[in-house]
């Protein structure tokens, strides 16, 4: 008897804060296939508000609640677009995995537990979509002593792992994270640190564009060596896993502090230096934690940055650096697909957290379910 097909939607809005990516995924047996992909950008006002909510400010609770409502409405729009594209109805979908928008991430801080905050209104999304919603994936991992991030390495193992070789998967969103997948099924995963967030901030500040398309602006600049040395001195880079970070650390204020000694540097040269910073931080982690790796698969928006991909290849001459598209899953669909997978795990009450990744006390079911 053939395994029944189960369909889940995954929704992701990451630390780049540029919008929402959604996928409709069909799971059958041990396999999965993406049946539809849709994305929606944030309005400039919503993006600015979410960025502002990463730091303390006036009337935060009120503003955060309204931003969460706005995000849930965009999520519902993406869900409808996916259903239309795939020719499906709400009744065909088991659940929606909705990550939410991270605005604070402080695991283990302050009281030994810390917290992670993702703006979201899963109850509103369930009401608008007519589908069960799984959300709040990170809190249980924190409660069990983990970092709450990254959560996608277990999914990477299932989709990209190989029986005879160590494979690394590098997700370059606002923050970059690395999954090390060994032939014996072992998984290590952690946040490397900088991804696109600093580059996007600097690009918008000086060009008005939300990001440096294909890295062309950075490619025309020159690396400022003293600035690069200053950036690479960040203590987080030397911390041993498990570890996770976010805009709580790598933000505009952090960059301004490190730029203090390079105030005369041309903006394009600073952009080139920020790209090199992301490159070297990620490449160093591949060499340190996966010396036997010969294949690095890159996903997230960073996979579309041609200059970054070229620099990663130069920094890792013995490793084949490619987009996850080479393995059948386009780079902008990977994280959304991971949250469809995590939603399925939650619905089936299957453990999804990995002690080897987040440092949690043991495997846990992740996510809270909001019935339609």
Domain ranges of the chain: 6-148+333-370, 153-327
Q: What is the pLDDT of residue 30?
A: 87
Q: With bands split at pLDDT 50, 70 and 90, how would you rate the model's confidence at 2? A: very low
Has residue 279 got a pLDDT over 70? yes
- DSSP output for 88-126: --GGG-SEEEE--EEEEEEETTTTTTEEEEEE--HHHHH
Domain 153-327 in this protein, CATH class? alpha beta
CA 18 to chain centre: 12
Between strands 320-323 and 295-299, the pairing is: parallel
Per-residue CA distances from 309 to 189, 195, 263 (Å): 20, 12, 28
Tell me whether domains 6-148+333-370 and 153-327 share a fold. Answer: yes
Strand partners, 368: 135
* Residue 1: band (very low, low, confident or very high) from pLDDT cuts 50, 70, 90: very low
Q: Could you tell me which residues are beta bridge partners of residue 171?
A: 177, 299
Asked whether the beta carbons of 175 and 245 are under 8 A apart, the reply is yes
| Beta-sheet strands, E only, within the chain | 6-12, 19-28, 31-41, 95-98, 101-107, 114-119, 133-135, 167-172, 175-181, 187-194, 295-299, 320-323, 368-370
Sheet with 368-370, strands from edge to edge, namely: 31-41, 19-28, 6-12, 95-98, 133-135, 368-370
In the numeric block, which tokens belong to residue 219? 């490619």
Which has the higher per-residue pLDDT, 11 or 30?
Answer: 11
Q: CA of 284: how far to CAs of 45, 192, 306, in Å?
A: 37, 9, 20
- Structure tokens that stand for 185 in this block: 């099924």
The fold of 6-148+333-370 is Nucleotidyltransferase; domain 5 (3.30.420)
Three-class SS of residue 221?
A: coil
Alpha helices in 161-241 (DSSP H): 197-207, 216-219, 225-232
Tens digits of per-residue pLDDT, 255-264? 999 999 999 9
User: Phi and psi for 12 in degrees, rounded to 5?
Assistant: -135, 130
Pair 119, 101: CB distance under 8 Å = yes
Q: Which pLDDT does position 268 carry in this prediction?
A: 98
Alpha-carbon distance 342 to 317, whole Å?
A: 34
Average confidence (pLDDT) over 233-244:
97
- Per the structure block, which two tokens stand in for 163? 């029986």
Question: Rounded to the nearest 5°, which phi and psi values hold at 273?
Answer: -70, -40
With beta carbons less than 8 A apart as the criterion, state whether 271 and 279 touch: no
pLDDT of residue 3: 60
Q: pTM score, two decimals?
A: 0.96
Distance between CA atoms of residues 133 and 9, nearest Å: 9
- Mean pLDDT, the chain, rounded, equals 97
Quote the CA–CA distance of 222 and 218 in Å, as a whole number: 8
| Average pLDDT for 160-168 | 97
φ, ψ of residue 370 in degrees (nearest 5): -110, 105
> What is the average pLDDT across 305-319?
98
């Amino acid at each position: 008897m053939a395994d029944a097909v189960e369909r889940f939607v995954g929704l992701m809005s990451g630390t780049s804060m540029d919008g929402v990516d959604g996928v409709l995924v069909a799971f059958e047996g041990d396999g999965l296939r993406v049946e539809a992909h849709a994305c929606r950008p944030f309005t400039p006002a919503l993006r600015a508000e979410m960025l502002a909510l990463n730091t303390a400010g006036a009337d935060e609770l009120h503003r955060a609640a309204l931003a969460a409502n706005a995000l849930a409405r965009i999520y519902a729009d993406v869900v409808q677009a996916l259903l239309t594209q795939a020719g499906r109805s709400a009744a065909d979908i088991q659940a929606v995995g909705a990550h939410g928008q991270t605005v604070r991430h402080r695991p283990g801080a302050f009281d030994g537990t810390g917290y992670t905050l993702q703006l979201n209104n899963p109850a509103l999304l369930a009401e608008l979509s007519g589908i069960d919603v799984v959300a709040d994936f990170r809190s249980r991992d924190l409660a069990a002593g983990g970092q709450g991030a990254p959560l996608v390495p277990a999914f990477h193992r299932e989709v990209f792992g190989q029986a005879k070789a160590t494979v690394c998967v590098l997700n370059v969103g606002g923050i970059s994270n690395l999954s090390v997948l060994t032939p014996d099924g072992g998984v290590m995963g952690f946040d490397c640190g900088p991804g696109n967030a600093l580059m996007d901030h600097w690009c918008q500040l000086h060009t008005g564009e939300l990001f440096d398309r294909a890295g062309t602006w950075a490619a025309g600049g020159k690396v400022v060596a003293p600035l690069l040395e200053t950036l690479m001195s960040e203590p987080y880079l030397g911390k041993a896993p498990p570890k996770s970070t976010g805009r709580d650390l790598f933000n505009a204020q952090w960059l301004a502090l490190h730029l203090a000694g390079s105030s005369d540097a041309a903006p394009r040269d600073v952009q080139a230096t920020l790209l090199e910073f992301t490159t070297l931080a990620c490449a160093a982690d591949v060499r340190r934690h996966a010396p036997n790796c010969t294949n690095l698969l890159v996903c997230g928006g960073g996979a579309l940055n041609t200059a970054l991909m070229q620099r990663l290849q130069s920094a890792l001459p013995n490793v084949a650096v490619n987009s996850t598209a080479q393995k059948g899953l386009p780079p902008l669909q990977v994280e959304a697909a991971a949250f469809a997978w995590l939603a399925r795990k939650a619905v089936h009450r299957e453990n999804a957290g990995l002690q080897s990744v987040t440092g949690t006390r043991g495997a846990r079911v992740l996510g809270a379910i909001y019935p339609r």
